[in-house]
Structure 1
Amino acid sequence: MGPSFLNRRVTSLAVAALCAVQLIACRSEGVSDEVPAPEVAEVSESLAPDPSLGFVSARDGYFYLRNLRFKHVGANTPQLVYQPLWQVDETLNKLRDARVKHVRVLLPNDKLTTQAIGDRLQQVLNRARDRGMFVTVALTHNYSQEVWGWEKGDPAAMHAVRGDRDPAWNPTGVSGNVGFYSRSYSQGNMLDDRWIHWGHTANYKSFAVDIATRFKNDNAIFAWDIANEVNSTGGPGMVDYLVAFYRTMAAALKAADPNHMVTTGMVHTGWAGMTDAQRNLVYRDANIDYLTVHMYNTDPAQQHQGALDELWRADNMYAKPVIVEELGHTEARNNYSVLANQYQDLYVNRGVDAVMQWGVTFTCSLCKCARTCTTDPNDWGAGDCEFGPCEQQKLPEYVALAKKWGEWTHAWNVKTTPGVRNESLPCSTWDGDVAGCDAHGYADPNKADDTQHCAYYFCSNRCAPQGTSNCEAGCTSYCAASNSETWSCNSWNGNVSGCDAHGYADTNKANDTQNCAYYFCSNTCAPQGTSNCEAGCSSYCF
């Protein structure tokens, strides 16, 4: 492909065209025509994480977060791990304000150790968690492509697991830092069949398992993407090896981390050359939690239809959620309604569980995209000249579209989750959602179980019952005060008279915001407006 400041997203059309020519020419050295049946790790029932810890899970064809369905809006911020922290903060702040709940990043970097990569990922996770957001981590990248969103070294860092481009793995007669990235196509090189067959065990597998192990208890992780857009040449037996790769890696990741979901990161199974029998092995595997689809208007018609077929299969064949994990439309630059109409179709007609725009950044370089300059102080280097909303000069339209569907999906979750009544939900349902919290700011006596009286606490980006102290709402700077009027209501659990004594807010006392009430059904003292369910009276929970 061209310079890194141009289209950072490798077009799958180029890959598909390469492998449609002839299988022999596409096949990498080291793979014979006689391929034995691949070994696949035994599939065990996937362990479900404890929903109270805030891990997202998948069951019955839907995502769930704390037992509420979690259809949502996401965004691809592929360079976020390698951007300066002030850019990470600004990106996540603006996405949070746009009602985006989920971002996706590319993790591998062949210039850094696993420890250093994990440290950078931790910084992103901490910031996402603070904003009520989740992160999907792509554990490797199919294409030999620079880490385009950070300070470049000489040579530049590449989005490859360390060691996978080592010349020791070069095919015979190939020179340079190629390694397993020896399969050529119109825009460069990508992972070859040797890597799918056996080479992934050389460096990648241990890297992926080490990362999953380190972050297994971090509830800011949404899921592990096994690999971004990996496929084979389709040579004899190679698709079987691809199936085996996804299944064995899913089993390994689940063994290391039973708390988080695992998915493939595929464009779709048709793009990977899978038959029905082969795709069934992948997506009926209990260790693979949901389907992924990547969709661009530049894809050929057959590939686009394959993506739509995959969306149908998710619901009708596999009863698993599906995410349009990458979405881009070049025509949005001139007519944003084409993208708006696609969101409408995907959420309403196709029933997808999330849509993730490709190449989202909030400052970009139009002159670099136009090749009229080579440097630009406004360029974060993280977007995409062809598909990025910033580069298309459509950021206000993108933010409005994300907000619309962020609010729509939240309302859908509340309305459709079995056994949940809108008015009996705890205020924390609207953490990170100011409008949703404000909409539940009073109790309507005409609605049964409507006891929220919610209020939004900007100091912690949480929605809590009115009367919750700043300290109890997560604003830690208020917790050190010696005045008892700043203590949380639960300081008087088991103490009826103490709770009653703090049953009103005294306007003459600074920070007196408790308005506590005693809940005899659970012997707890909680802010007035807390629902019985949220106060620990489990018989009131639906």
Structure 2
Amino acid sequence: MKILQILLLSVVVLATATSFPLSSVTQTEAENEATSSELEKRATFPSVSGLKFNIDGSTVYFAGTNAYWIGFLTSNTDVDKVMDHLQSSGLKVLRVWGFNDVTQTTSGVWYQSFVTGQQPQINTGANGLQRLDYVVSSASSHGIKLIVNFVNNWGDYGGMPAYNTYYGTTKTTWYTNSKVQAQYQAYIKAIVSQYKDSTAIFAWELANEPTCNGCNPSIVTDWATKTSAYIKSLDSNHMITMGDEGFVNGGGDGSYPYTTGEGMDFEANLRIPDISFATFHLYPSSWSESTTWGSPWIANHGAICVKVGKPCILEEYGVTTNKTAVEGPRQATALSTAGIAGDMYWQYGDTLSSGKTSDDGNTIYYGSSDFNTLVTQHVSNIKAKG
């Protein structure tokens, strides 16, 4: 989702970028040591199992959520608190931003820099990818699986616009420019090489909501084919997905999301050999559609996934008002639709040492009445269905 970048942190860990490998993280909280050890012993690499996923030996529909901000927290205790709450709630998969690009020098948390006049730099320091390192470590200890993506389509936290400003490229040429793609792959290698042996990774995601407005869909499909093959050459253990909104080439009601105006072809991209499963998002109001438009959108994606033989995840969905009334039926539709293997609401919220986490209106806070209905009850419904 396109979000406004906000300053989440009041405490900053100062460090300089280094070229050394990411350091391992020492678990500082010992109260769950026995449980964590058992979880890690049972953990396996998540995988596709028919039209669902096998997660640590169980093939089931799962519920998950998004917390893009968790890798930018500077408090390990806060990270652990979130993971504790996810674990106790029965949420299995968490999607996080694996990118944080900056275009000027900063003492805050950043992962990659594109400062004019300097070479791009990947920050493996204490205020860089070591923050993501702790997220992966804590997830592993709590039995949570992570979807980690590598770049944003939007300008929040840098993304493709940061690359374009630095290299003088455009939204269209981002996908084909050799210098851009070389740096993008260098960044992918830094992340994937660190966690290729971690069972806490659910999947690698090429981008958050990639689009190429006005482009021939083959441009993005070719890019996704090459990028997913590159990731697979680095890591044969983990699944790979697009991270797209699910724009379909025809069908449906013929409305904008069922066209190739954004340069995307959902089915063609799902057929890429190294793409393991599909993602799609649901924000009807952003696409000038009605609330009731969402159920057919879910069903149509499920049908395509059944046709191709790979599962779908409703990876983002959210509303700012009447959450239970609107999102409850969406969850029920997803749970009952063949080809849909999980849903992940946007976005998880909690109260940490620095206060409440990001609230973009869609946020569902832990312990709230909406949380009790849309998470606790939803997880119970999933268990009841088996």
Matching of residues 495-510 of structure 1 within 5 Å: none
One-letter code of the match for 2:153? N
Contact 1:246 1:264 in 2 (8 A): yes
Cα distance change of structure 1 residues 340 and 130 upon mapping to structure 2, 3 Å threshold: same
For 1:2 and 1:407, the matched residues in 2 are separated by 30
For 2:297 and 2:146, the matched residues in 1 are separated by 27
Q: Aligned to 1:164, what secondary structure does the other structure show?
A: helix
Contact 1:109 1:161 in 2 (8 A): no
Give 1:405's aligned residue: 378
Contact 2:64 2:342 in 1 (8 A): yes
Contact 1:326 1:357 in 2 (8 A): yes
Q: Deviations over 1:125-174 (max 9, x none)?
A: 111111111110011111111xxxxxxxxxxxx3437972553x22xxxx
Greater RCO between the two (CA within 8 Å, min separation 6)?
2
Q: Note if 1:93 corresponds to 2:84.
A: yes
Contact 1:196 1:241 in 2 (8 A): yes
Q: Deviations over 1:333-362 (max 9, x none)?
A: 5xx232222211211245521111112111
**Residue 121 of structure 1: how far off its partner (Å):** 1.6
Structure 1, unmatched stretches of 5+, are 7-50, 146-157, 171-179, 183-191, 365-376, 414-542
Cα distance change of structure 1 residues 310 and 351 upon mapping to structure 2, 3 Å threshold: closer
Matching of residues 114-125 of structure 1 within 5 Å: 114-116=123-125, 117-125=128-136
Q: Aligned to 1:104, what secondary structure does the other structure show?
A: strand
For 1:131 and 1:272, the matched residues in 2 are separated by 39
Q: Over aligned residues, Cα RMSD in angstroms? A: 3.2
Give 2:241's aligned residue: 263
Give 1:340's aligned residue: 328
Q: Aligned to 2:139, what secondary structure does the other structure show?
A: helix
**Residue 197 of structure 1: how far off its partner (Å):** 2.1
One-letter code of the match for 1:121? L
For 2:339 and 2:59, the matched residues in 1 are separated by 13
**Residue 202 of structure 1: how far off its partner (Å):** 3.5
Give 1:64's aligned residue: 54
Contact 2:71 2:132 in 1 (8 A): yes
One-letter code of the match for 1:106? W
**Residue 100 of structure 1: how far off its partner (Å):** 0.6
Matching of residues 399-438 of structure 1 within 5 Å: 399-410=372-383, 412-413=385-386
Q: Aligned to 2:333, what secondary structure does the other structure show?
A: helix
**Residue 296 of structure 1: how far off its partner (Å):** 2.1
Q: Note if 1:142 corresponds to 2:153.
A: yes
Contact 2:202 2:239 in 1 (8 A): yes
For 2:142 and 2:374, the matched residues in 1 are separated by 20
Give 1:540's aligned residue: none
Give 2:174's aligned residue: 195
For 2:66 and 2:318, the matched residues in 1 are separated by 10
Matching of residues 213-232 of structure 1 within 5 Å: 213-232=193-212
1:244 to 209, 222, 247: 222
Cα distance change of structure 1 residues 99 and 213 upon mapping to structure 2, 3 Å threshold: same
Q: Which moved more, 1:131-140 or 1:294-303?
A: 294-303
For 1:57 and 1:142, the matched residues in 2 are separated by 26
Contact 2:318 2:362 in 1 (8 A): yes
Q: Note if 1:208 corresponds to 2:188.
A: yes
2:363 to 388, 403, 423: 388
Contact 2:278 2:312 in 1 (8 A): yes
For 2:235 and 2:376, the matched residues in 1 are separated by 32
For 1:297 and 1:278, the matched residues in 2 are separated by 19
**Residue 277 of structure 1: how far off its partner (Å):** 11
Contact 1:114 1:207 in 2 (8 A): no
Q: Aligned to 2:240, what secondary structure does the other structure show?
A: strand
**Residue 3 of structure 1: how far off its partner (Å):** 5.8
2:351 to 352, 363, 376: 363
Contact 1:269 1:310 in 2 (8 A): no
**Residue 324 of structure 1: how far off its partner (Å):** 0.7
Give 1:105's aligned residue: 96
Q: Aligned to 1:353, what secondary structure does the other structure show?
A: strand
**Residue 211 of structure 1: how far off its partner (Å):** 1.3
Aligned length: 317
Contact 1:294 1:307 in 2 (8 A): no
Q: Note if 1:77 corresponds to 2:67.
A: yes
One-letter code of the match for 1:409? I
Q: Aligned to 1:224, what secondary structure does the other structure show?
A: strand
Q: Aligned to 1:320, what secondary structure does the other structure show?
A: coil
TM-score, scaled to structure 1: 0.53
Matching of residues 270-309 of structure 1 within 5 Å: 270=248, 271=257, 273-274=259-260, 279-298=266-285, 299-301=287-289, 304=294, 306=297, 308-309=299-300
Matching of residues 459-470 of structure 1 within 5 Å: none
Give 1:32's aligned residue: none
Contact 2:149 2:206 in 1 (8 A): yes
**Residue 71 of structure 1: how far off its partner (Å):** 1.6
Q: Deviations over 1:229-258 (max 9, x none)?
A: 0111223xx321111011111111111111
Matching of residues 447-458 of structure 1 within 5 Å: none
Q: Aligned to 2:47, what secondary structure does the other structure show?
A: strand
Cα distance change of structure 1 residues 4 and 206 upon mapping to structure 2, 3 Å threshold: closer
For 1:3 and 1:232, the matched residues in 2 are separated by 21
Q: Deviations over 1:473-531 (max 9, x none)?
A: xxxxxxxxxxxxxxxxxxxxxxxxxxxxxxxxxxxxxxxxxxxxxxxxxxxxxxxxxxx
Give 2:19's aligned residue: none
Contact 2:212 2:264 in 1 (8 A): no
One-letter code of the match for 1:197? T
Instruction: State percent identity of aligned pairs.
Output: 20
Q: Which moved more, 1:291-300 or 1:93-102?
A: 291-300
Give 1:354's aligned residue: 342
For 2:258 and 2:205, the matched residues in 1 are separated by 16
For 2:369 and 2:202, the matched residues in 1 are separated by 27
